Chain A
Amino acid sequence: MFGFSRAQSIAFILMVVLIAVCPFVLYPVFLMRVLTAALFACSFNLMIGYVGLLSFGQAAFFGMGSYVAAWTMKAWHVDASVAIVLGGLTGAALGLVLGYLAIRRSGIYFAMITLALAQMVYFFCLEAPFTGGEDGIQQVPRGHLFGLIDLNNDMTMYWVTAAVFIGGFLLVHRIIHSPFGQVLKGIRENEPRATSLGYRTDDYKLIAFVLSCMIAGVAGGTKALVFGIATLTDVHYSTSGEVVLTTLLGGLGTVFGPAVGALVVTSMENYLAQFGAWVTVTQGAIFMICVLAFRRGIIGELGAFLKISL
């Protein structure tokens, strides 16, 4: 099924069942936050896990997707589906420009360039009139999906968010397990060799980057609809940092790692919120433990223990 191995199929079915059952047990708005964070982490994992490029500016695409979706909903009263698609297209377009500049370098240089470009996007959002500056865009209506389904009900919004997440998740999986994905893995493993086989590696990296940014934009757009706001936090570098933490914690280059990481990180933020600054202290401690003790992340270690690829 979709190129999943047997173990992955079981894990996928388990995940879908959990997504279907959880809103009856837990607060749906919290779960939607998990799902958008998970999709965002999946987009990041596509670059770091399968192309080997650490993008330190992923928030720029997430945040711009969020702003554009929020603005078009509020100003133009477009359909919810249009807003989400526009969020994705914004991420892709921005990714094409920034990626074109960044993919010429690799390793730490790539990370630094993406960070610098993302900071430029941040200051653009701070100054541009349509973003509302420090206030952000507030009271964004959720509107209707396909002109029919009213999204103001949390459960309805939840099913839409879940569908967007599963769609994005399967898209990432398909990209990885496609002829294109095979070339990406070759580039990750040995770029000069891929070049010597006749692959123009920059083209592949750029396409992967644009796809990754598009998915990040969709995640951002969906998040704007769920919470009805788009703020500077969405484009802030701490959001870029958090997605790195999320993906590392869940398991770099694993299929389910980013989703599990998002669940853990978002839960911490949610349930530790009452302790204020302790959230960041706890996150920092967990990040250090992860780097020191289980580098493959939760799913990476679990997969290694069970000797399966998850």
Chain B
Amino acid sequence: MTDTILETDGLTREFTGFLAVDGVSLRVETGTIHALIGPNGAGKTTCFNLLTSFLPPTRGTIKFKGRDITGMKPAMVARLGLIRSFQISAVFPHLTALENVRLALQRARGASFDFWRSDRALAVYDNRARELLYDVGLTGFAETVVADLSYGLKRALEIATTLALDPEMMLLDEPTAGMGHGDVDRIVDLIKRIRKGRTILMVEHNLSVVEGLCDTITVLTRGKVLAEGNYETVSKNPEVIAAYLGTADA
């Protein structure tokens, strides 16, 4: 039997007059890549916000590594090793690529409230930051201000920054959204390389990415789990096909 790293029970989030996430019970097994798919407005991103405490759930519980993290502060969830990325590329645009990654590595020294110390104290992280940049194909961009990087490179940088925390579990919100083919392949390769020793939960629209990458797929529609299983099972499920393509009588 495999271990469950993340487990939700009856997770619900209500916005005024509207159930964005409705009783979702999710179980993510340790070491797998788990995809969360579904049409627009299915509640995927809300789910991510709930899992990382960026939004408090209306009802339901979330357990990470067997520990109840419901209602915990988002920064605390991150410190437990559950790190998210964002749909819009989450970088620090006016810092250099190196500084972006270093800001994550800097977590290792604790809270960094030392305003009286020179930032040369951070130079010890430079080598590790360069290694991470190399891993995601950003060698040579270390000193570039991130605002000047292309979209695909920003997403790669975001993954490098997330990896810098060496998280046990990563939540990737549409890692390939808005990318050209070349960039998509690069990100898929990257995810394959970094999955070792980690669990990944990702929201993804690109089904070919999901097919090649994910062990388990959960389909959400209108805030509810519609189907779950591997790609084979899910892609043949008539309800899933109906949800994605619409039905004759819909």
Neighbour of B75 across the interface among A3, A175, A180, A195, CB < 8 A: A195
Neighbour of B115 across the interface among A175, A195, A203, CB < 8 A: A175
Chain A residues whose CB sits within 8 angstroms of the CB of B104 once the complex forms: 197
Question: Contacts A192-B86, A196-B84: A174 and B106 contacting too (C-beta < 8 A)?
Answer: no
- Establish whether residues A182 and B99, one from each chain, have CB atoms under 8 Å apart when the complex forms: yes
Interface size class of A (residues with CB under 8 A): 20 to 34
Assuming A175-B116, A203-B111, what are 13 further A-B pairs, CB within 8 angstroms?
A3-B120, A174-B118, A179-B119, A180-B117, A182-B112, A183-B106, A189-B93, A193-B86, A196-B85, A197-B83, A198-B165, A199-B111, A200-B73
- What number of A-B contacts does a CB cutoff of 8 Å give? 104
Within 8 A of B (CB), among A199-220: 199-201, 203-204, 207, 211
A139 at the interface (CB under 8 A from B): no
Interface size class of B (residues with CB under 8 A): 35 or more
- Can you offer 18 A-B residue contacts whose CB atoms are under 8 A? A175-B115, A177-B119, A178-B116, A179-B121, A182-B103, A182-B106, A182-B112, A185-B94, A186-B92, A195-B78, A196-B78, A196-B86, A197-B161, A198-B76, A198-B78, A198-B79, A198-B107, A211-B115
Q: How far is the CA of A3 from the CA of B118 in the complex (A)?
A: 7
Query: A-side interface residues toward B, CB under 8 Å?
Result: 3, 174-175, 177-183, 185-186, 189-190, 192-201, 203-204, 207, 211
Chain B residues whose CB sits within 8 angstroms of the CB of A198 once the complex forms: 75-76, 78-79, 83, 107, 165
B113 at the interface (CB under 8 A from A): yes
- Establish whether residues A185 and B92, one from each chain, have CB atoms under 8 Å apart when the complex forms: yes
B60 at the interface (CB under 8 A from A): no
- Establish whether residues A178 and B115, one from each chain, have CB atoms under 8 Å apart when the complex forms: yes
Q: State how many angstroms separate the Cβ of B133 from the closest Cβ of chain A.
A: 16
Q: How far is the CA of A193 from the CA of B89 in the complex (A)?
A: 10
B249 at the interface (CB under 8 A from A): no
Nearest-CB residue, chain B, relative to A179: B112
Question: Contacts A177-B119, A189-B92: A196 and B106 contacting too (C-beta < 8 A)?
Answer: no
